[in-house]
Amino acid sequence: MGNDQHTFGQQDEQRNAMENSGYISISGNTDIILQMNMIHLTEEDLSLISAFRPVIVSRIEQITSSFYESILHVGKLKEIITKHTTVERLRLTLSNHLIEMFSGKIDEAFIQKRLKIALVHQKIGLPPKWYLGAFQNLQNTLLRIAHEMRNELPHYDRFIQAITKLLSFEQELVLEAYEEKTREVEQKAKEFVEYQAHHDELTGLPNRRMFQKVLREAIARNEKNRTKFAVLMLDIDRFKLINDSLGHTYGDQFLQEVSKRILACAEGYQALVARMGGDEFTLICEECPNRGAVTRLAESLVAAIEVPYHLKQNDFYVSASVGIAVYPDHGTNEEELLQKADQAMYEVKKNGKNSYRFFTSELDEHLHTKIELEADLRKAILREEFVLYYQPQIQTGTNKMIGVEALVRWNHPEKGILSPGVFIPIAEETGMIHEIGTWTLREACRQMREWHLAGGAAQSRLGQSLFPAVPSAQSDRLHP
């Protein structure tokens, strides 16, 4: 203690000057000012504290050790610190700060340095409860030193109050730094969750939820401006081939490459590209002033997708079917626009794929007709609306009949006789083809038996046809 008294005594002549050296220079930081006002930390307190600085300098190692030794006694905390830095570096940083803290001056630079020190401790993983516990040990050490020198300190009671206020202010800054960092981490986590909720994990593109949100906004914006925009629905043809032959890992790589190509095509347009799921992508193109601009975009998409993909040392070829709906011509809400683009896209698939098509009213009429026919087709068997036509099979050369072919027709109650080309595709899509096939076979066999009983040729053979009309010589023969 003698050295402390000697050091402290050397400052007697300067004490009066130093008592006036404390000052606070905080402007614009309302929260910090409020914190200082709550604990009544004043410039007079800082002046008293600045007189104690020489003692702090002479015993700085003891003071900083009181902070870190308590932490290093806990094994897991020691491991946390030594994993990221050295205790010596941390002690040096804290030593410099303590000396500055007892200068009696608080300004913006001082605040930022204190926050930075606290963030360093948080960054290396020191929990706040342990940090504040170590800080309490440091405070006890400072107060014990002051108590040992109480006879040498003028206004001892006021000094103890002043140092307690300053250390309380320090603790508040530490908590503020930790809380600010926690808020920052929570905000980043929230932003990440928000991003994940609106983006496709595989490609990074906006997902269905984000697409629908942007589509609603585009509708509202263009309704107000009385302008048009296009919705494009793109589906990859033969994607299943890649998934089945190479596996999902290469299938994912393929979809990532597809998304890059689509994004490249969309450059230069005010367009949002989204992945709706599987191999289905959508675009909202607002900067398409006319049909020609949308057509060029669609053509570039089709051309880009058909360029071969090099996967697993082989080139794979796929194509794209693109359907296009235009607001407000084809729909005034998101459901209508997606439905119409989807209809146009499936029309492309039905007619050879690897192309694009705008929605037309004819497609809508075709869809309604198809829906009506499907509903009627489900009742047709129960209502016995199917009929068989028998086409004789003649042997060339002898002109002898060697069998007959049974051709199914649908005698629709309102539309009359319908050929297989109208209803067989619907039956195949819905699975009703099996029921129709079973009925056709039974009815043909019944008719053959009836002919045999009536004296028909026993050697006659029976063939049945359920195939829809296709542009070939055979279909012309089967479906005159």
pLDDT for 14: 41
Chain centroid to Cα 102, Å, comes to 51
23 Cβ neighbours under 8 A, 6+ residues apart: 43, 46, 104, 105, 106
**Residue 328, preceding peptide bond in cis (omega within 30° of 0):** yes
Query: CA–CA separation, 275 vs 219, rounded Å?
Result: 20
Q: Which residues of the chain have pLDDT under 50?
A: 1-2, 5-20, 459, 467-480
Give the closest residue to 87 by CA, choosing from 72, 75, 101: 72
pLDDT for 19: 43
67: tokens are 């902070």
Query: CA–CA separation, 118 vs 94, rounded Å?
Result: 10
The pTM of the full predicted model, rounded to 2 decimals, is 0.54
* DSSP secondary structure of 298-332: HHHHHHHHTS-EEETTEEE--EEEEEEEEETTS-S
pLDDT digits (tens, 9 = 90+) for 23-41: 677 666 677 778 788 888 8
Query: CA–CA separation, 59 vs 3, rounded Å?
Result: 10
Please name the amino acid found at residue 146.
Answer: A
pLDDT for 123: 67
Query: CA–CA separation, 204 vs 207, rounded Å?
Result: 8
Cβ 202 vs Cβ 255: under 8 Å: yes
pLDDT for 453: 85
What stretches of 67-166 adopt beta strand conformation (E)? 105-107
Query: CA–CA separation, 46 vs 104, rounded Å?
Result: 4
Q: Which domains can be identified in the chain, with CATH numbers?
A: 2-193 (1.10.490.10), 208-359 (3.30.70.270), 368-478 (3.20.20.450)
Query: CA–CA separation, 472 vs 452, rounded Å?
Result: 33
Query: CA–CA separation, 430 vs 120, rounded Å?
Result: 66
Q: Of how many residues is the chain composed?
A: 480
pLDDT for 12: 46
pLDDT digits (tens, 9 = 90+) for 173-218: 777 776 776 677 678 878 888 888 999 999 999 999 999 999 999 9
- Residues 89, 94, 95: CA angle, nearest 5 degrees: 95
Chain centroid to Cα 10, Å, comes to 67
pLDDT for 71: 66
169 Cβ neighbours under 8 A, 6+ residues apart: 35, 36, 39, 41
416: tokens are 């009359």
pLDDT for 347: 87
pLDDT for 226: 87
* CA distances for 76 relative to 81, 91, 94, 127, 307, angstroms: 9, 19, 21, 11, 57
Query: CA–CA separation, 288 vs 324, rounded Å?
Result: 12
- Burial label, 301 (beta-carbon count in 10 A; 0-12, 13-18, 19+): buried
